[in-house]
Structure 1
Amino acid sequence: MPKEVSADLRWRVVYLYSHGLTITDIANTLYMTKSVVKIINLYEKWACVTNSFKGVPGRRRFFDREDMRILQNLVKDKVDWYLDELLYEIENHTGKRVSISALWRSLHCLGITRKKVLQ
């Protein structure tokens, strides 16, 4: 994976380009590849040097803090429920429909890895 170019260096590219240097000259001066064209195009289109539309890395979260609190309370109240029963209840409480694996990951984030039924 290529190394991310810092914002300071991106502004330096724009500065050199605005003073009339060619893309090849900028690339040779800053010891970069000719991919600086992307930075210049981004600046000309949006007047910024970072892509603000670039998403946050990682998996998208289904539940917010309130939903996680509801899930934690459901698990505390009903320790002997199966995942599909929890799934049905969380859908009734939050209105969000998720898969069993997403529910399992959310439980794992809460620190609940296995439910043991005490008899």
Structure 2
Amino acid sequence: MPAPLSTDLRWRIARAYERGEGSRADLAQRFAVGKASVDRVIRQARQSGSLEPKKPGGSRRLLTEADEALVRSWIEAQPDLTQDELAQRFTEHTGRRVSRRTMGRVRARLGLTRKKRRCRPRSNSAPTS
């Protein structure tokens, strides 16, 4: 996604439109932006009176910081928990269902990896160097 238009450019577009210095298409060509961008700037100026770029959209996180701390404690106590096991444990503990993918994102955000169990114990007779 490209960077938002600068506030200065937004201000110049809105001012030129208010002064009637051309159609929206003319202003788009003059300021080297798309017509849709000119439309959005003008609409935003009318609706909110502000020309500041809006915050990026997106969904809010499903787990709070306290929830993430709880998941961290489970992983630190038992590092071989799978994402499915974490999701199931979270549902049992809080009553809120989350997907295994959500647990994967939480684990990544916390910087924790899954430590797999060995299928069998390490050999005591294996050479060490």
- TM (normalized to structure 1)? 0.70
User: Match of 1:37?
Assistant: 39
Q: CA, structure 1 residues 88+12, in 2 after alignment: closer, same or farther (shift >3 Å)?
A: same
C-alpha distance in 2, partners of 1:63/1:116? 25
User: Match of 1:26?
Assistant: 27
Aligned residue pair count: 117
User: Match of 1:47?
Assistant: 49
Gap runs ≥5 in structure 1 = none
| Displacement of 1:54 | 5.3
Q: CA, structure 1 residues 28+73, in 2 after alignment: closer, same or farther (shift >3 Å)?
A: closer
Kept after mapping to 1: 8 A contact 2:4/2:53: no
Which 4+ residue blocks in structure 1 deviate beyond 4 angstroms?
79-82
Q: CA, structure 1 residues 3+54, in 2 after alignment: closer, same or farther (shift >3 Å)?
A: closer
Gap runs ≥5 in structure 2 = 122-129
C-alpha distance in 2, partners of 1:3/1:75? 37
Q: CA, structure 1 residues 8+77, in 2 after alignment: closer, same or farther (shift >3 Å)?
A: same
Kept after mapping to 2: 8 A contact 1:42/1:51: no
| Displacement of 1:49 | 2.6
Q: What one-letter code is carried by the residue in structure 1 that aligns with 2:107?
A: L
| Displacement of 1:31 | 3.6
Q: Which moved more, 1:67-76 or 1:84-93?
A: 84-93
| Displacement of 1:25 | 4.7
- TM (normalized to structure 2)? 0.66
Root-mean-square deviation (Å): 3.0
| Displacement of 1:114 | 2.0
Q: What one-letter code is carried by the residue in structure 1 that aligns with 2:40?
A: K
C-alpha distance in 1, partners of 2:85/2:56? 37
Identity of aligned residues (%): 31
